Structure formats: C-alpha cells, structure tokens
Amino acid sequence: MFLKKIMIRSDESILEGEYPFTIPTIRNFRELELTNSVTFFVGENGTGKSTLLEAIADQCEFNTAGGGRNNYYEVDAAESSLGKYVKLSWMPKVTNGFFLRAETFYQFASHVEESESINFYGGKSLHEQSHGESFLSLFLHRFNGRAIYLLDEPEAALSPQRQLAFLRIMHDLIQEEDCQFIIATHSPIILGFPDATILSFDNGEIEEVEYEQTAHYQTTKYFLDHREKFLKELLEGD
Ligand SMILES: Nc1ncnc2c1ncn2[C@@H]1O[C@H](COP(=O)(O)OP(=O)(O)OP(=O)(O)O)[C@@H](O)[C@H]1O
C-alpha cells in the first residue's frame, strides 16, 4: 500500500454553501485513513464518491479526465472542484497509476490512438474492441508495477463474467505487483472482493460497513431470492 491518508487542508478556507461542500458527506469530511490494498466507496447516487475519487486523482497528478500522469488531453468539465482542498499522505510515495472514468473512456481511447503504442493495450486499438473488452485490455496490459489505481464504476462496461475476471486481475496485481486500488462501485460482485475495506458515503459521513450491510448486497439478494414477489410489489403497488 502507498496512499495512507486523505485529509482536508486546514490552510484552504472552505466555501460553505458552494459545490462540492453542498454534498453532506464532503462537507463533513476531514480525514480518512487507508489501511487496505483495496478500498471501496459505496453509497447512493450523488453522495460524493466520484467527487472524492476525482480529488484524489487530481492530487496524484493524474489526468482528472481519466488516465495517468502522462496522458495529456482535455474533456469538458473534468477538472476537480475538491482537488485543491485535499492533501495526501504517502508511505512510500508512488507516481505510477491510473484514474479510470467510464464516461470519458472513449476520449481516452482516442487519445491513446494518437499518442501511445497500442501494444500497451494488447496490440489492438481500444476503439476496435468492445467497451468491456477495452476495459479488460487496460487492466491486463496497462496496469502493472508499484502503482495506485483509482477506478470509478469499472463495472459500467463489464458483464458479470468479466467482473469476475476483473477480480482475478486485481487479486494478481495486489499479490504480485503490490498495487493499491480505490474503487467507487455499485456492483455487488466487485464489492465482494475478499477482505476489502468498504466505506459507505450514505448518512452524510464516510463510515466503514460490512459487505452484507450494503444496500447493493441486500437489494440484489432480495431481488434474486424473491424476484416475482418483489416485482409484483414494485409494479403493482400504489
Ligand atoms: N460540477 C458540479 N457542480 C455542481 N454540482 C455537482 C457538480 N458535479 C457533481 N455535482 C453534484 O454533486 C453530487 C455528488 O456527485 P458525485 O458524482 O460525486 O456522486 P456519486 O456518489 O459519485 O454518484 P453516482 O453513484 O451517481 O456516480 C451530485 O448531487 C451532483 O449532482
């Protein structure tokens, strides 16, 4: 593990009432210790997971549009509003890594086409692979070494089988290459990675929860166990 702590800077005055401090979890956030090679951010839509992940990417000097330190390209409105308020504590510091944003991956693929060797991505243009195939190519061929990976909803392009393949790739990168991952996810499959730390952004603060406590696990389990009853209540109820 490399990144040990994320803190709000005491020397920057917080603009109360302005984004990103309008988000309760971000307004209440002061510091977070990381103690695990895999940390998940979970919570309802709009609770600030991407906002914090993007701020961490900003302070890692990764491209906040998605990419690593050496990926220079621009996407509208990709700058981090929280970045300048955040300080990172490392032991030891690494500069290698990647910030994955599903929604700007197309632009990242175009940037790769113009500037990098496609050999880094399995020898095939990312645009000539399906969305899910191109994600897996990135994980398999570009992710390596002592590095930190910040992934925002990696499941967006992945089938359940490919999500399992991703867990295996992540497992090998941690065991063999000493990688650290911080992942915002809604996937009950990805969240199931053994012994990970799960941090909930619900309830206006960041708190550690067990896998079985997450709404993602509970709702999915209930749906699969009682699908017909669940859908009848949902669709026929008042
Ligand atoms: N540039 C912006 N200006 C104002 N509000 C914003 C801006 N970007 C995001 N927000 C708001 O901040 C809140 C948190 O957004 P964020 O993307 O961090 O949520 P999230 O927890 O990652 O959600 P999701 O699970 O849907 O991805 C949302 O209500 C969103 O509308």
The ipTM assigned to this model is: 0.96
222 lines ligand 1 (CB under 6 A): no
**CA separation for the pair 4, 46 (Å, rounded):** 25
User: Measuring from atom 16 of ligand 1, which residue has the nearest CA?
Assistant: 48
The pTM assigned to this predicted structure is 0.93
Enter the tokens of residue 132: 């899910």
Domain boundaries, the chain: 3-213
Task: With H, G, I as helix, E, B as strand and everything else as coil, classify residue 157.
Answer: helix
> Is the distance from CB of 55 to CB of 78 less than 8 angstroms?
no
- Find residue 8's DSSP bridge partners: 86
Tens digits of residue pLDDT in 106-162: 787 777 777 666 666 777 777 878 888 888 888 888 898 899 999 999 999 899 999
Residue 24: cis peptide before it, omega within 30 degrees of 0: no
C-beta of residue 129 within 8 angstroms of C-beta of residue 161: no
Among the listed residues 152, 45, 56, 59, the one whose alpha carbon sits nearest the alpha carbon of residue 108: 152
For residue 11, pLDDT over 80 is answered with no
From atom 2 of ligand 1, which residue's Cα is the shortest distance away? 19
Question: In this structure, which topology does domain 3-213 adopt according to CATH?
Answer: Rossmann fold (3.40.50)
